[in-house]
């Protein structure tokens, strides 16, 4: 095995470097260092919607929402083990053995003392071809642990990787659980997957039709307390900033509609991030205009300039990204200004299957409180800068408080955003894949936090 690692061909070495740069292959952290915030039980079969991969979750486990390492889903049982799913997309067509060796090299770079086992070729469930292997990792501080990988070739340019982590002393106990998950893997045919997506889109259409614009318009005019909401931004259990959401009824270009403003400020150890979002849609859904701007400042990476008094002052290194979107009927135009370059993109929007940003906020706050349901819709994904099919899952609360959780994947290959709402549609908590947690707070509390940081 070691000889194979060091005698790898140049094309595989090129593949490794490319994957390292693009972040396609992810280095695991020990299962004992996971910093998930919220978890909830999942008993139904998990489905991936871009390539048709599905599996049965391991029994008696919870799903972790923190997928900042690129995982599509994670499962754990009291921290005893961790099973996660990733999709790999190498820059060129390769075989199972190639992608496995490349991942092995990446792992060995991160953990030089790791001891790999021999690769094993399998047929999961008697149908799906796969390659499985384990690596033993000595760790004097936290104890030795084992990392397992099972690679599945979906097509020559796409692979699934099922990861497994546990203590070395628990390996014999939990390996059977990992193998059980792998054996449950199925690949849905493209036709079946397309039919399933169509059903989800129909569910999404039914949810959008629940919006009563007349009633909503009256509430925005009369209930001043619902027009503005403030939130704390928390990461690694520390307050890093705040966010404000404001909704109101107004007129733009002669069109009466709903406007939603979202402003956020976050201070991280090495940078400050400010975002300003402004969305408007007419009540008849025929006109939409929005803007998004993100500014990132690096105070420690600035340049020194001389001011009039000949004193030197350091200006922070700042980068900015701006997007504007306009839609008339089904014609959507998006302009992206990034790195001093402007790019204009255009789409024909399937209006009956599409949700604007305004509609997403309104729909998510008016979902069924007691009905578990999956749905889908088309929307613009600002991170991917494209029109994307988005998948949503509703998980009603099992207690009597009428809260519900909503899981939304802003793209077929995207990690989910998890949100919790009360029975009045107020956002109680939101968790992003990068570990950012958003919770509501009175504006007085936000000001107090700001004053404390300013001291």
Under the banding of pLDDT at 50, 70 and 90, the label for residue 63 is confident
Lowest mean pLDDT across 277-281, 346-350, 398-402, 407-411 = 398-402
- Who wins on pLDDT, 19 or 188? 188
Q: Does residue 147 carry a pLDDT above 90?
A: yes
What integer pLDDT is reported at residue 313 of this predicted model?
Answer: 57
Q: How many CB atoms lie within 10 A of CB 102?
A: 25
Sequence-distant (≥ 6) Cβ neighbours of residue 90 within 8 angstroms:
15, 18, 19, 24, 99, 102, 157, 159
Q: Tell me the C-alpha distance between 106 and 299, whole Å.
A: 33
The string of pLDDT tens digits covering residues 219-241 is 666 554 457 889 999 998 899 99
Q: Which residue has the higher pLDDT, 290 or 189?
A: 290
Asked whether the predicted pLDDT for residue 164 surpasses 90, the reply is yes
Model confidence band, residue 446 (pLDDT cutoffs 50, 70, 90): confident
Contacts of 73 (CB under 8 A, 6+ apart): 46, 63, 67, 84, 85
Sequence-separated (6 or more) residues with CB below 8 Å from residue 77: 58, 60, 61, 62, 177
pLDDT (mean) for 161-177: 94
Q: What is the 3-state secondary structure (H, E, C) of 40-80?
A: EECCCCEECCCCCEEECCCCCCEEECCCCCCCCEEEECCCC
In this prediction, residue 280 has a pLDDT band, given cuts at 50, 70 and 90, of: very high
CB 364 within 8 A of CB 373: no
Task: Provide the pLDDT for residue 36.
Answer: 40
Q: 438 with 232: CB under 8 angstroms?
A: yes
Q: Please, what's the b/e burial string for 292-314 (b: 16 or more CB within 10 A of its CB; e: otherwise)?
A: bebebbeeeeeeeeeeeeeeeee
> Structure pTM?
0.75
366-370, 422-426, 433-437: which is most confident: 433-437
- Per-residue pLDDT band at 310 (split at 50, 70, 90): low
Q: By C-alpha distance, which of 162, 145, 108, 153 is closest to 128?
A: 153
Percent of the chain whose pLDDT exceeds 70: 81
Q: Which of 112-121, 163-172, 252-261, 441-450 has the highest mean pLDDT?
A: 163-172
How far is it, in rounded angstroms, from Cα 139 to Cα 142?
6
Q: What is the pLDDT of residue 219?
A: 66
Average pLDDT over residues 156-184: 93
Tokens of 196: 């399933």
pLDDT at 39 > cutoff 60: no
Long-range CB pairs of 358-361 (<8 Å, 24+ gap) are 358/257, 358/258, 358/259, 358/260, 358/279, 358/280, 358/281, 358/288, 359/208, 359/211, 359/281, 359/285, 361/247, 361/260, 361/279
339 Ramachandran zone, left/alpha/beta (phi>0; psi -120 to 50): left
Contact present, 63 and 83 (Cβ < 8 Å): no
> CB-based contacts of 453: which residues, under 8 Å, 6+ apart?
267
Q: pLDDT at residue 32 above 80?
A: no
Structural domains for the chain: 2-188 (3.40.1000.10), 195-454 (no CATH)
Secondary structure of residue 287 in the 3-state scheme: strand
Mean pLDDT of 412-422: 83
C-alpha closest to that of 414 among 402, 438, 400, 432: 432
Return the pLDDT at 311.
58
Please state, in angstroms and rounded to a whole number, the distance separating the CA atoms of residues 88 and 162. Answer: 11
* The pLDDT of residue 416: 82
CB distance 148 to 132 below 8 Å: yes
**Averaged pLDDT of the chain:** 81
Residue-wise pLDDT tens digits, 369-408: 677 888 999 999 988 889 999 998 888 877 667 788 888 9
Identify the pLDDT of residue 22: 36
Instruction: Mean pLDDT check: name the lowest of 84-88, 106-110, 419-423.
Output: 106-110
Q: Which of 303-312, 364-373, 435-444 has the highest mean pLDDT?
A: 435-444
Which pLDDT score is estimated for 274? 94
Q: Distance (Å, rounded) from C-alpha 422 to C-alpha 397?
A: 10
Mean local confidence (pLDDT), 25-34: 40
Task: Assess whether pLDDT exceeds 90 at residue 177.
Answer: yes
User: Helix, strand or coil for residue 172?
Assistant: helix
Query: Quick one: tokens of 197?
Result: 């997506």
* Lowest-pLDDT choice from 279-288, 296-305, 382-391, 437-446: 296-305
Using one digit for the tens of pLDDT, what is the confidence trace for 189-212? 888 989 989 999 999 888 878 777
């Amino acid at each position: 095995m070691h000889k194979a690692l060091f005698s790898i061909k140049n094309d595989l070495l090129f593949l490794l470097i490319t994957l390292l740069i693009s972040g396609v292959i992810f280095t695991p952290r020990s299962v004992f260092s996971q910093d998930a915030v919220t978890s909830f039980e999942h008993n139904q079969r998990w489905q991936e919607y871009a390539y048709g991969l599905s599996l049965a979750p391991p029994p008696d486990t919870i799903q972790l929402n923190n997928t900042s390492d690129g995982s599509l889903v994670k499962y754990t049982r009291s921290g005893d083990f961790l099973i996660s799913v990733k999709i790999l997309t190498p820059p060129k067509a390769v075989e199972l053995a190639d992608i496995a060796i490349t991942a092995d090299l990446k792992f060995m770079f991160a953990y030089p003392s790791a001891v790999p086992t021999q690769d094993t070729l399998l047929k999961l469930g008697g149908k799906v071809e796969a390659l499985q292997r384990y690596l033993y990792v000595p760790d004097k501080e936290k104890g030795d642990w084992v990392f397992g990988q099972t690679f599945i070739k979906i097509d020559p340019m796409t692979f699934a990787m099922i990861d497994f982590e546990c203590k070395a002393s628990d390996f014999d106990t939990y390996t059977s659980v990992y193998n059980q998950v792998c054996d449950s893997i199925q690949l849905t045919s493209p036709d079946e997957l397309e039919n399933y997506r169509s059903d989800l889109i129909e569910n999404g259409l039914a949810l959008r039709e629940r919006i009563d614009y007349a009633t909503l318009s009256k509430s925005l005019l009369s209930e001043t307390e619902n027009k503005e909401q403030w939130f704390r931004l928390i990461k690694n259990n520390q307050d890093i900033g705040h966010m404000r959401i404001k909704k109101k009824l107004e007129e733009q270009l002669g069109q009466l509609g709903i406007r939603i403003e979202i402003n956020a400020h976050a201070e991280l150890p090495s940078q400050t991030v400010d975002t300003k979002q402004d969305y408007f849609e007419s009540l008849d859904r025929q006109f939409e205009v929005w803007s998004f701007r993100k500014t990132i400042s690096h105070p420690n990476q600035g340049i020194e300039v001389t001011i009039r008094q000949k004193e030197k002052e350091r200006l922070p290194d700042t980068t900015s990204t701006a997007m504007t979107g306009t839609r008339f009927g089904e014609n959507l135009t998006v302009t992206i200004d990034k790195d001093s370059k402007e790019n204009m993109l255009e789409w024909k929007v399937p209006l009956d299957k599409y949700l604007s940003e305004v509609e997403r906020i309104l729909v998510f706050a008016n979902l069924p409180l007691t009905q578990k349901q999956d749905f889908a819709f088309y929307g613009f994904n600002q991170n991917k800068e494209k029109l994307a099919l988005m998948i949503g899952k509703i998980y009603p609360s099992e207690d009597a408080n009428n809260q519900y959780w909503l899981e939304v994947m802003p793209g077929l290959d995207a990690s989910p955003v998890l949100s919790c709402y009360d029975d009045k549609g107020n956002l109680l908590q939101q968790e992003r894949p990068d570990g950012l947690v958003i919770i509501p707070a009175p504006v007085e509390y936000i000001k107090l936090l700001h004053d404390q940081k300013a001291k």
